[in-house]
Structure 1
Amino acid sequence: MTLLDPLRDGPDPAPGGGHACAGTEPITLAATPLGVREALAEMRRRFAPSSPGPDTLGMAETVLAEVLNNVVEHAYRRLGEGVIELRMERCGNRLCVDVRDHGDPMPDGILPGGALPPLDDTEDGPPEGGFGWFLIRAMARELSYTRENGQNRLCFVVPLAEA
């Protein structure tokens, strides 16, 4: 993973669907569970010191973990390995995030819905998966997805909680 200097507070997302962090220097991480953990630790390292309280980044960390794990588990499932480019910038009381990869595209080229998985009563208990896009859609704002020249790009903003 490429570590960069901490980012400063920035402007609101740019008009027209782009986000302010689109021009920031990317963190490059391996599309692996370890790469995801390193990226989450880097997010905390960069933004926790400027946060008003200990739980301020919780929602952003949850969304980022779900997004990055989806890239690892789905976009690169067939390819086996790859990298993820991650750009993050604090935009006032929000975290602007831009995630790019060269894995498989989203099914039908669109973002998945945010429906919960069926909660059928079974002996095995509730399902262990299928909550990711529900959580992402519930917590993230200004969600956008594009695929250009073999690259997936997912941008979103997460409000930072007030302590």
Structure 2
Amino acid sequence: MTRAGLLAILVIAAPVAGTLASVAINEAQLRDATEWRIPITGYDPRDPLRGRYVAFQYDWTVAGRRTACPSGDCVLCMEDGGRRVRVEPRSAVCPASVDAVASGLFVRYATEGGGTRATAATRIWVSEARAPELERQLQTRPMVAVSRLTRSGRLIATHLEPAP
């Protein structure tokens, strides 16, 4: 085989090997992840699903003090099955009473009815076959994101379903 042929094979094989390694690492992290059902908000029913993604926001009630987290440099101390969150600076330690810790999300706050809510935007892939049914559900009932929390603190939405 010529040097050019060997180089061409390496140029093609390197990205494929990198992609396969990335998929394997993500699958290993998800295998050990814990499952959470977190209320969502922020879907605009007048805006149809675009492509194969639906954008939404995790909707938490803030427990404890409100801490600014504009750049994703905070940890989320999740409580009550994922319905409440205590937002702390990354240098802080979550109280022992919390159920889990997530990180890397950009958190925004809103005050309504005397309480504070925290939201973090994300999106999820939706199949073409399921998109019409999901759009109807998002317009008519409260929904939750079924998400996986990895040991490293990554919160990954896997699918949406009606709230219990």
| TM-score, L = length of structure 1 | 0.25
Q: Which structure would you say has the larger Rg? A: 2
| TM-score, L = length of structure 2 | 0.25
